[in-house]
Amino acid sequence: LGILMLCPLQYVASIAFVMESIVAFAERGHLVDVLVSDDTDPAFQCDHPHVRTFTFGDASVRRGMQYRELVKTGRLLAENKQYDLTIGLSQMGLIAGASITKRLGIPCVFYNDEICFGNERHTLLGNAFGYTVKFFERRANRKALFTVTQDAERGRFVSEVNGISTESL
């Protein structure tokens, strides 16, 4: 399989289940292209011959434009490479992955790192934005091949919040 993994979180290298998954896919012979922020901390490193790392502009773009950069770079990779699967980490990774793979007709998997409700911001306008993003997350999650969570309790919450069946976890 050719896998495109969209990892927009700057701290992706510190998320054990994500790093372990990348290595596990590579060890099984899959080719994994990982798209990460150009501003990761700690630095993203995976020294496996089946893993390639690409970056999208994050540090150099205006706040709020990271999603656009992620999608633009992800689409460029997807159009020039043959992928069988896309994995989207976090809300932004899932939404970007769903957008990219819809055009290609390949499945997207959601790697859920935290549960967002849409109302985590401190202003009315911020919460309106949060609810809008949550709408797109729910829609993309319902179309995902399946969802990976860190534990059963998170899975139950994601199932409730996003309106997906627990069988898709």
Transcribe 12-53 into DSSP letters.
GGG-HHHHHHHHHHHHTT-EEEEEEETT-SSPP----TTEEE
Dmax over CA atoms of the chain, in Å, equals 48
What does the alpha-carbon distance between residue 26 and residue 166 come to, in Å, rounded to a whole number?
28
Tell me the three state secondary structure of residue 139: helix
Q: What is the DSSP string of 149-169?
A: -SSHHHHHHHHHHHT--GGG-
For residue 116, what pLDDT is reported? 65
For residue 133, what pLDDT is reported? 83
113: pLDDT strictly greater than 70: yes
Q: Is the pTM of this model over 0.95?
A: no
125: pLDDT strictly greater than 70: no
Mean pLDDT of 2-16: 94
Q: Would you say how long the chain is, in residues?
A: 169
Could you report the per-residue pLDDT of 133-157, keeping only the tens digit for each?
Answer: 889 999 999 999 999 998 888 888 8
For residue 98, what pLDDT is reported? 94
Please enumerate in sequence order all residues whose Cβ is within 8 A of that of 47, keeping only pairs 6 or more positions apart, or say none. Answer: none
Could you report the per-residue pLDDT of 20-40, keeping only the tens digit for each?
Answer: 999 999 999 999 999 999 989
Helix (H) or strand (E) holding 108: strand 108-111
For residue 62, what pLDDT is reported? 64
> With contact defined as beta carbons under 8 Å apart, do 114 and 77 qualify?
no
Distances (CA, A) of 110 to 2, 25, 49, 89, 135: 16, 16, 25, 6, 15
Mean pLDDT of 65-88: 88
